[in-house]
Every structure is written in structure tokens, then in C-alpha cells.
Structure 1
Amino acid sequence: MVETILVTQPEFDKAKAVFQTADGFNCESAPAEEKILAGIIAARRIRVVVAGPDPYRKDIYESLGKAKGALIARFGVGHNGIDKALARKYNIIVTNTPGTLDTSVAEHAIFLMGSLARHVNSLDSQIRTGRFVGQTGIELQGKTLGIIGFGNIGKRVAAIAHFGFGMRVIAADSRPLPETKENQTKFLSEHGLALYTSDSEQVFRQADIVSIHLPSLQSTRHFVNKARLELMKPGAFLINTARGEIIDEIALHDALSSGKLEGAALDVFETEPYQPIQPGKDLRQMENVLLTPHIGSNTREANNRMAVSCLENIRNFIAGRYELLARVD
């Protein structure tokens, strides 16, 4: 009997061809809303769901729990919306798709950087209202890019910025450098780094542009706060394509409105869809802020890779090859 896999509708639509031609499965689109999805799972005795970033708090776990062994395959890398404690309670494995979206997110960070440097957002708005007046920008070549969080995406951003644009790149991460001097030199050279440090404040102080690439953890919540923003150079830019809660949006609003920072570009937000933390501090009302709706990973190529990775996790789950799963539970 062919197993039916429910795929939440937005994710199904992003990689429809991959899901429709999945070998050995019947992949069906289903509403992402938790109560409706949970009802379908219970009625049809489904045990595998491919889920997007929507938060799931209760019903889906109770419904999948009836299968006595189930899988939530996250379409993406972040898994904040999945309650891992409830998943464990109901014997539900949770997986994600590591490595599938690194290039797309890194490229988006670079595009946001360039848009800030040349005021693309404000100039586009002006020309649409009949104003044909230039605004002086900056070159990226020779500028110092600071990367906070040097995982796979941070490394990709560093390579594009240094080898492609001739930027001086410095990075901060908690992971230590290789032990030997020879390997340290090789590491810096391979990744186009002028400096690698565990002291993030050093990066905030030196960088003309800071790009955030940290994971969402309790320890990284509001990591970019008032104190760290005050360390940044006057006229610096800030970019976040990681997770919204890493930046204190009120402190960022204050730094932008005071002129401390020249601009910021955000693809992620504390609340999504975006809502200001305080009504009087709405980032959407600021001309020096560029906003995109969490689309860093939303490319055809990354979507197809995420779908393929989901299906691989599902095949390994059904076959009992649990050691091969990209587990995050």
C-alpha cells in the first residue's frame, strides 16, 4: 500500500513537481492551519507530515501521536515552530533539511547589502512618485564586512563578499580556530577572512556593514541589543537574514532614527507577519530600512532541494533507518 504524505500547502506549491513525482509516496497538499491539518491527520490516520514554518502548539501532536510513531519533516532548516517536548511526548520524530538553503540565503544577504549601499529601496520609491533625483551611495570594495555567526551561510557570505567584491571580511563565532598556526592561516585564506574572533564586540566596532547569521537560541535572543548597536560605527549598516528575535527591534529603531546607523535590511522579524513591538516604533515607516518577508530561502533551487531532502528523511523514517535522519527533536 502506498503511503500518503501530507504536505502543507505553501510548501507543496513551492516544490510541486518534486512532490507530485515522489517515488513510492502519494504526496498531497493540506492546509497549514493546525486544527484543520490535525483533523485530516486523525481522520486519515496519517503518520508523516511535511510542515513549513507555521507554529504548531497542540493538536497536530495529539493527532500524529495516535500513529504510535510519526514524523514531522520540516521543509527548511529552522524549527522554532515545532514543540519538541510535545513531539517527544507523542513519539514523533522531527527532521529538517540542513545545507539546502545556504546559497539562497547568502545571496539574499549580499543583495540586501548592495541595495543598502546604493539606496535602491528609497530611490525606487522616489522615481515611482515622479522624483528623478540621485542619491549618493558607497562602493562595497574595500569596506569591512562583519559577520556574526560563521556557519555555512556566514562562510558563503564571506566568500562572495571578499572574493567577489573585494571586501575586507571579519567574523565572530564561538567555535575556535584550528589548533596549528598553519591550519589557522589556511582557514582564514580559504574563507577570505582578515580576522576571526570569539569577541563579537570587536566585529561590531570595526565593521562598516554587519550581517547576522546566528541560530535562534535562548542565548542569542536580542543578541543585537542597544549596547552592541552603540558599538557600531556611525553610518554603519545592519543586515539580518537569520532569525528575527536575534535583534532588539526597538533598539534598532532608536539607532536608525537617531542617525547612529545609516540603514538596515531585514528579512526576518520578531513577529511574523511583521508587527511593530511598539506602535510608535514601526520599521515600515522608516525610509532607511529595507524589508523583505522572510524570503531568503525562497528560490526555486532551494525549494527543490528542501523537498528532496524532506523525501529522503521520509524514506529513511519509513525504512527504519533512523540513524540517517536529520533529526532536530
Structure 2
Amino acid sequence: MGSIPKVAIVYVVDPYHEDAIAKLQSQRNLTVILPGDPRIKSYHTDATHILVRSETTIGEADILKARNLKAIIKQGVGVDNIDLQAARRHGVIVCNTPGINSESVAELTLALALSIARRVCEIDRRVRNGEKVIRSKTLGHSLFRKTIGVIGMGNIGRVVAKKWVGAMEGKVIAYDPYAPDSAWDDMKDVQRTAQLGELLQQADLVSLHVPLTEQTQGLIRKEEFAMMKSNAILINCARGGIVDEEALLDALREGRILGAGLDAMDVEPPSLEKYGNTLLDHPGVIMTPHIGASTIENQSRSGIAAVDILCKLLRGEEVESRLT
């Protein structure tokens, strides 16, 4: 590999793992501005490259102000916090780090599903409140050999499906109208459907793994909840906005589904002010503040991957995850 040919001014506008920072600072010909430095707020002045996560939104106004900006590298898969069309119009490269978060997001998906099915968080709260929990009157649901419906046949959905078969010996039904016909051909335990309704009617667990787009906005609404089993669990470890939250609340209150695990909501991070009298008031709901990728191991891997992409760009090499 060649060396970085000239000086670049790199702003790390969101927190990155120390391993990624160490690798970045080891590169020659880079000026690196880290989180906590007061200059971060004025990155528009001279940034040539930006390393970002989900905390910072970069819109067209930011891109127009940052006249020296050449590239934005996003740690993680989702790029809905970056105006891709504006970046494309103004010649700014945008890259992400797909595939690296898959294991950690899949782990959280199963953790939420099992916690809801076995009423772990609900029972824990009752014990902490001093209630005597009678076991015979506090039965959960087994997920062993049950059916998972995976919506979105990308990297994360694939790992979720594999873990489900391995851990639960369960059936997998998958829906993704945009995935190629050959997607998941090597996974013999997967039934693919072209109809979302078919998946919803069969699944004991419905797990969302799609980006937020015009096509997926409000994908799960009142009509979709009406198709689901009364003991079904919905998991959203993807993006807020995919689920109609008012319809979800109605479905929960009316007993049309068993519960929901939400790592992605309309309002993030979730708060008592927003959800205290609605979704958080239901015992079958678990909310986490978009922590699917938040393991020590994954933050190190994905941060280093973002730095590697930056270095490739600076050396003039091709990057597979380039989006603009």
C-alpha cells in the first residue's frame, strides 16, 4: 500500500473508540481534530474529511459551508443523518461501514425477543418494587422451534436468521422485495416470501432490519398489526419511523400482539416525557436507546474500519462502501 500523499484535515465529530483514534493518529500527513476540541463546532471552516456516527446530522447547508470537504465517512450502516443527494450534487464522497455491526445488532435482537417472551424486565421491575411474584401466575412464552419473520435480507437480517436457527431450532421466513433472487441461497432453512402479509401471518417473532426510506416509512401500520398473531413479538433494531408508533400502542393495548422490543424509535433517545404514558407504560415493551452496535468489540472494529476507509480514500484507492 502507498502512503498518504498530502496533508488532510480530519475532524472526528462524534466519539470513536480509542483503538480507532490511535490508528488515525498514527497516520502521517494528517491533522486530526478530536471530539472535545472546541474547533469541532467550526469544522466547516477547513475540514477536508469528516468521521461521523449517528449523533451528528450533516445536511445540505453544512455541505455548502464546508467548502474544502471531500469526504464523509460514517461508522455504521445507516446514513439517514447525512443528506446523500446534497453530497452527490456537491461532489462529496460518502462511505459507511456495512456488515460490521451485524453480530452485535443480531445479539440485541435475540436478547430483546427472549426478554419479552420470558417477561424478564417486567418481572425484574415487580421484584424491585417489592411485589411477591407467583410463578404459576407469571408464565412466559417459549421461543423454541417458533417462526421468525425477518424483514430485510441484508447482513444483519442474515445473521439474525442464522442465530435463530442455531439457538431456537426455529423456522425462518424472510421478506425483501429489493434483495436479489440469489440472496440467502446458501441458507437452506429459510423460506422467502414476496408478500409481507404472508410473513406477518406466520411469524411468532417479527424482526425489522431495513433502512429508513420512502418505501419503508410506516411499513408496519394498523393493517399490518391486524395480520399478526396475538402472541407475536415485534422487534425494531433498525430505524425509527418504520413502525407507526400509535398503531403499535393500539395493538399492544388491545392485545393484538404480545410485546415489542424497540431499539429504534421516532424520538431518540427515548424519554419519559415522550413515552412515559404511552409505550413505556405497557409491561410488554422494552426500549433501548439505539444500542444495537454498542459493544466494546464492535465499536473497536467499526471505528477502525472507518479509519481504514479514510486512508484508502486519501491514497486514491477504490472503496466498496462508497455511496456517492
**What is the TM-score when the length of structure 1 is the normalising length?**
0.87
Q: TM-score, normalised by structure 2?
A: 0.88
Structure 2 vs 1, CA of residues 247 and 165 (structure 1 numbering), >3 Å: closer, same or farther? same
5 Å-filtered alignment, 1:113-262, equals: 113-133=113-133, 134=135, 135-174=138-177, 175-178=179-182, 187-189=186-188, 192-193=189-190, 195-262=191-258
Divergent runs of 4+, >4 A: 275-281
Contact 2:43 / 2:66 at 8 angstroms: preserved in 1?
A: no
Aligned: 1:312 with 2:308: yes
Partner of 2:33: 28
In structure 2, distance between residues paired with 1:196 and 1:177? 10
User: Unaligned 5+ residue runs, structure 2?
Assistant: 1-5
Partner of 1:18: 20
Distance 1:280 1:131, change over 3 A: closer
- 1:60 is the counterpart of 2:62: yes
Structure whose residues are more often helix by fraction: 1
Counterparts of 1:277 and 1:197 in 2: how far apart (Å)?
39
Gaps of 5+ in 1: none
One-letter code aligned to 1:187: D
Q: Which amino acid aligns with 2:239?
A: R
- Describe the shift of the 1:206–1:142 C-alpha distance in structure 2 as closer, same or farther (beyond 3 A): same
1:50 corresponds to? 51
CA distance in 1, matches of 2:93, 2:145: 47
For the Cα contact (< 8 Å) 2:70–2:93, is it kept in 1?
yes
**Larger RCO, structure (CA 8 Å, separation 6 or more):** 2
Partners in 1 of 2:180 and 2:273 — Cα distance?
A: 36
Figure out how many residues of one structure are paired with residues of the other and give that number: 311
Q: What residue in structure 2 maps to residue 7 of structure 1?
A: 12
> Which residue number in structure 2 is paired with residue 328 of structure 1?
323
Q: Report deviation, 1:86.
A: 2.5
RMSD of aligned Cα (Å)? 2.5
The answer on whether the counterparts of 1:5 and 1:46 sit within 8 Å (CA) in structure 2 is: yes
Q: What is the deviation of 1:300?
A: 1.4
What is the CA distance between 1:4 and its match in structure 2?
A: 3.8
Decide whether the 8 Å contact of 1:8 with 1:32 is kept in 2: no
Deviation of the 1:232 alpha carbon = 0.3
Structure 2 residue 295 is the aligned partner of structure 1 residue 299: yes
Q: CA deviation at 1:145?
A: 1.2
Q: Distance in 2 between matches of 1:246 and 1:37?
A: 32
**What is the deviation of 1:210?**
0.8
Q: CA–CA distance in 2 between the matches of 1:203 and 1:277?
A: 34
Q: CA deviation at 1:32?
A: 10
